[in-house]
Amino acid sequence: MITALVIKKMGLENHSLVEKSSSRLGGKNLKFESKNGEVVFLKIGEGVAAESLAREKNALEWLKNKGVNVPKVLNYFVDRSDGTKYLLLSALDGLAVHKITNMDRKEILRIVATALKQFHSISMSGSGKLRTLDDDLIHIQTCLKFGLIKIKDFQKANNGKTPEEIFSYLKRVKGKISDSVIVHSDYCLPNILIAKDSYGFLDVGDCGPSDPYKDFSAIEGSITRNFGKEWIGLFYKCYGKTSKVDTFKIEYFQLIDQFGYHLDIEKYRKFFRTHRRHN
């Protein structure tokens, strides 16, 4: 429930709520529209979702002058009584790629590849506070330590290998993974908007220095789900990748994603609330 205080703090007195949805971690995403047609989005995060929201705010502010089209942070408010965070964002023009039906797929993938190449060209200067592979591995280690992974489901999806075995492998070969570019970290078709004369990026909260294959892995999966595996080659061609695709790196980041796919969300949210209360 949004209180009158939040409405006032966010400057939404003259806006109407027109759409709402929830994230996997329990965050709320609310779309508001003013009488003159201005559209804004209010994200609300409690517990673990609040931490995710704080990262998104920091990432968006870092990206503000980097030449990429991302939502602007219009307002940010933390309720000190319970730690709930509220992030107000501007809307971007365009439609999410997976919803586009009136454009040739070749043109769509050309834009998707061009957009990613632009993201990968962002200067890494001052990116020290953004998310890294080390952060991903520390997060996995915490989930393992406190039993937050659905072990049977994980093993079933990974040829019987336990989460601990996979994690040990990820640490052992980590040195083969670079941190040469700024990656989006969740580069899938729903997070790319295409308008008539522009494109934009959503959900950039986990962007940071890493290997370009982190994004290649994500977009390969998204293209396969939405268009079919046969379109992946065209994406790489449009990106300008001339060397052979490194399947080791693709698989490395796919394995990292497995820990997210098999996370016990309820246990995770409960752990986060307890952990924060005792720290």
Q: For residues 208 and 37, give the distance between their C-alpha atoms in angstroms, rounded to a whole number.
A: 34
pLDDT at residue 276 greater than cutoff 60? no
- Please state whether the predicted TM-score (pTM) of the whole model is above 0.75: yes
Task: Please give the tally of structural domains in the chain.
Answer: 2
190 and 60 inside one domain: no
List C-alpha distances in Å: 38 to 12, 17, 18, 44. Answer: 11, 12, 12, 20
Q: For the residues 201-223, what does the mean pLDDT come to?
A: 98
Whether 230 and 125 share a structural domain: yes
Say whether both 133 and 217 belong to one domain. yes
The pLDDT of residue 279 is 43
Report, as an integer, the average pLDDT of 229-238: 98
Same domain, 113 and 223: yes
- Which CATH number belongs to the domain containing residue 117 in this structure? 3.90.1200.10
pLDDT tens sequence across 115-136: 999 999 999 999 999 999 999 9
Q: Is the pLDDT of residue 189 over 70?
A: yes
Q: What's the whole-number mean pLDDT along residues 13-41?
A: 93
Q: What is the CATH number of the domain that holds 18?
A: 3.30.200.20
Lowest-confidence segment of 43-57, 196-210, 220-234 by average pLDDT: 43-57
Closest CA to 73 of 84, 182, 85, 81: 85
Single-letter residue type at 263:
L
For residue range 59-104, list pLDDT tens digits in order: 999 999 999 999 999 999 999 888 899 999 999 999 999 999 999 9
Check whether residue 199 and residue 105 sit in a common domain: yes
Do 135 and 84 lie in a common domain?
no
Q: Rounded mean pLDDT of the chain? A: 94
Strand order of the sheet with strand 85-90? Answer: 15-22, 28-34, 39-45, 85-90, 73-78
In this structure, are 157 and 49 located in the same domain? no
The yes-or-no verdict on residue 277 having pLDDT over 90 is no
Residues 164 and 258 in one domain: yes
What's the confidence (pLDDT) of residue 20? 94
Question: Which of 57, 90, 123 is a domain's end point?
Answer: 90
Same domain, 53 and 99: no
Domain that holds residue 250: 95-277
**Shared-domain flag, residues 162 and 229:** yes
